[in-house]
Structure 1
Amino acid sequence: MSDNDHPRTRLNNEFQKRYGPSAPEHVKWEVYSQGPPNATMWYATIYIDDVNYGHASAPTRSAAQDAAAQQAYETLKG
């Protein structure tokens, strides 16, 4: 997977096009984990202008954020 194919990179590039330098002001992540150390599940939600655009869970923080970013990107581009 190249950097441009990475879900969070694609989403960030879209934010830069839409919002320019103020892009970080429009995005908020909520990320947390639950469960025992041997079976931790990570949950990630991305908000754009306080609206939920993606939510995902996965065994790793990165995978949960990637999946939520992919949902948000598809919603924005759809």
Structure 2
Amino acid sequence: MSEHPRTDLNNLLQAIYGPGALDHVRWEVFSQGPPSCLTWFATIYIDDMNHGYAQARTRGAAQDSAAYQAYNHLRRERRR
């Protein structure tokens, strides 16, 4: 896996689903806390199943961590 988990996940999803890959993905991203100390939460659903959840100090970091989890989960599933 490279330093770009969302790109890696997108590439894997394209390999699995083809051009309609984004139709299978849904993100829920939100923040909580005071503006000076936000915590970002990101959950990624693939075919309405939770494949990754993370929290971080930035939106991108939360999404990257959730994408990394989803990527690893899909790779394990494909090996079976």
TM-score class normalised by the smaller sequence: over 0.9
Matched-pair identity in %: 61
* Count of matched residue positions in the alignment of Structure 1 and Structure 2: 75
Deviation by residue 1:15-61 (Cα, 9 ceiling, x = unmatched):
00000111010000000000001110000000000000000000000
Structure 2 CA distance for aligned equivalents of residues 75 and 31 of structure 1: 20
The answer for unaligned runs of 5 or more in structure 1 is: none
Structure 1 runs (4+) deviating above 2 angstroms are: none
The answer for unaligned runs of 5 or more in structure 2 is: none
Counterpart pick for 2:13 among 12, 15, 39: 15
Q: Please state if 1:51 is matched with 2:14.
A: no
How well do the aligned residues superpose, as a CA RMSD in angstroms? 0.8
Counterpart pick for 2:58 among 50, 60, 63: 60
TM-score, normalising length: structure 2: 0.91
